[in-house]
């Protein structure tokens, strides 16, 4: 993979205007694993994140997400490359100077990491106490932060008395205590139920909007990326395999891993009775299955009707959705085409000529007792 392909194009272009975070040629290798070879957690990663933007980093377990976030806050040093946050090269600082930089980097954890012996206000106050802020100023700032996250009435409650969502709000308030420019979120919603997750993401979006914080979200859930991020980077085996504006990546994914991560989020799952009939290769009587993605002004086009009217190809809709990302509409359909030597090629050419993305899904075997291609 060439250097241009490894970069996150849209995020890099934004960072050229107003860079706050730059990851340049970063690789991270750990000591020898079970086979005696060094373990490569990250390989030649390049990222640029604009000030005030939200970057979502997504990948499966073991993709390198946690290593990346530990490099950003200086808990790890890269084997190669540079990590620059707000003008400071985090990867080259000694411990004393690193402490100063970390005051500009807030951290929100998956399992909250609150001190059980301290109240909500005591947990939020901790970084301010460590920084030597006067007590009166601490009290005022803690009260303001707890009000910001909607927990002014819970200031004297201990973590054991708080719900998961309330604990995470305390964690967010604590991360904001030192007035950071960057907020790092490491799977901050994965331990929460869907309703609480939405509330926390709404809070983070408001913090990004009102305070102008730059946020980097580490997650394995595309729904989190879609809800809040401007840009997305997809990690696989320690490399960025795809990246750019969320709308572009979601509606025109370029890699198999991205398509797999998007499958549920984009309403592209087939019903089980159809999925079990899907085959990777064509066979007698199989229907070609295509995924069609509509963007922008084409999101509500009656394309299936036009395909039948203009090309004489009757496509059966197996699954579909019409939605929007960041206010931009998009639609997705999975359709089955009738058997025939050139039907799929003709249909794909017709659709592609109308600026629709067309991706092969597989081949649908006939239902038992039926010879037609319909489901």
CA distance 144 to 103: 18
Do residues 216 and 331 both lie within one domain? no
Do residues 88 and 37 both lie within one domain? yes
Do residues 207 and 294 both lie within one domain? no
Do residues 78 and 189 both lie within one domain? yes
Q: Is residue 139 in some structural domain?
A: no
Domain count, the chain: 2
Do residues 9 and 82 both lie within one domain? yes
What pLDDT, on a 0 to 100 scale, did the predictor assign at position 261? 86
Q: Which two tokens stand for residue 303?
A: 């394309």
Last residue of a domain, one of 237, 262, 287: 262
What pLDDT, on a 0 to 100 scale, did the predictor assign at position 294? 82
As a dihedral over the C-alpha atoms of residue 207, residue 208, residue 209, residue 213, rounded to 10 degrees, the angle is 110
Across the strands, what pairs with 288? 337, 363
Domain range for 219 is 3-104+180-262
Last residue of a domain, one of 262, 287, 310: 262
In the 3-class helix/strand/coil scheme, how is 210-236 assigned residue by residue?
Answer: HHCCEEEEEECCHHHHHHHCCEEEEEE
| Backbone dihedral angles phi then psi of residue 232, each to the nearest 5 degrees | -140, 140
Average pLDDT, the chain: 87
Last residue of a domain, one of 229, 262, 295: 262
**Residue 2 — pLDDT band, cuts 50, 70, 90?**
very low
The CATH number linked to 87 is 3.40.50.300
Do residues 331 and 228 both lie within one domain? no
Do residues 276 and 253 both lie within one domain? no
Q: Which two tokens stand for residue 35?
A: 């086979």
Q: Which of 95-99, 150-154, 250-254, 365-369 has the lowest mean pLDDT?
A: 365-369
Q: Is residue 175 helix, strand or coil?
A: helix
The DSSP output letter for 341 is S
Do residues 315 and 360 both lie within one domain? yes
- Output the pTM of the full model: 0.82
Q: Are 295 and 330 in contact (CB under 8 A)?
A: yes
% of the chain beyond a pLDDT of 70: 89
**Residue 359 — pLDDT band, cuts 50, 70, 90?**
confident
**Residue 239 — pLDDT band, cuts 50, 70, 90?**
very high
């Amino acid at each position: 993979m060439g250097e241009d392909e490894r970069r996150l194009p849209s995020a890099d272009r934004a960072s050229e205007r107003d860079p706050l975070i730059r990851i340049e040629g970063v690789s991270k290798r750990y000591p020898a694993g079970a086979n005696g070879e060094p373990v490569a957690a990250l390989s030649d990663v390049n990222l640029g994140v604009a000030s005030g933007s939200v970057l979502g980093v997504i990948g499966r377990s073991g993709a390198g997400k946690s290593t990346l976030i530990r490099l950003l806050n200086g808990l790890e040093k890269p084997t190669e490359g540079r990590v620059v946050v707000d003008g400071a090269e985090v990867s080259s600082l000694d411990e004393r100077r690193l402490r100063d930089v970390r005051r500009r980097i807030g951290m929100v954890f998956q399992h909250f990491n609150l001190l059980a012996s301290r109240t909500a206000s005591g947990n939020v106050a901790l970084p301010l106490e460590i920084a030597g802020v006067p007590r009166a100023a601490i009290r005022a700032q803690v009260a303001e932060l707890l009000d910001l996250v909607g927990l002014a009435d819970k200031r004297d409650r201990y973590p054991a008395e708080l719900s998961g969502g309330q604990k995470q709000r305390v964690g967010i308030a604590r991360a904001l205590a030192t007035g950071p420019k960057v907020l790092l979120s490491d799977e901050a919603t994965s331990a929460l139920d869907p309703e609480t997750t939405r509330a926390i993401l709404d809070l983070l979006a408001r913090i990004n909007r009102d305070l102008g914080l730059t946020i980097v979200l580490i997650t394995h859930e595309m729904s989190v990326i879609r809800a809040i991020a401007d840009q997305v980077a997809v990690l696989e085996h320690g490399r960025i395999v795809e990246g750019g504006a969320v709308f572009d990546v979601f509606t025109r994914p370029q890699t198999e891993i991205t398509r797999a991560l998007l499958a549920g989020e984009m309403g592209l799952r087939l019903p089980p009775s159809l999925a079990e009939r899907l085959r990777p290769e064509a066979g007698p009587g199989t229907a070609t299955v295509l995924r069609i993605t509509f963007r922008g002004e084409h999101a509500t086009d009656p394309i299936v009707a036009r395909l039948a009217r203009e090309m004489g190809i009757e496509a059966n809709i197996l699954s579909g959705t019409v939605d929007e990302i960041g206010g931009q509409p998009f639609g997705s359909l999975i359709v089955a085409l009738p058997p025939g030597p050139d039907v799929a090629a003709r249909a794909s050419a017709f659709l592609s000529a109308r600026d629709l993305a067309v991706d092969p899904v597989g081949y649908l075997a006939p239902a038992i007792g039926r010879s037609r291609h319909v489901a």
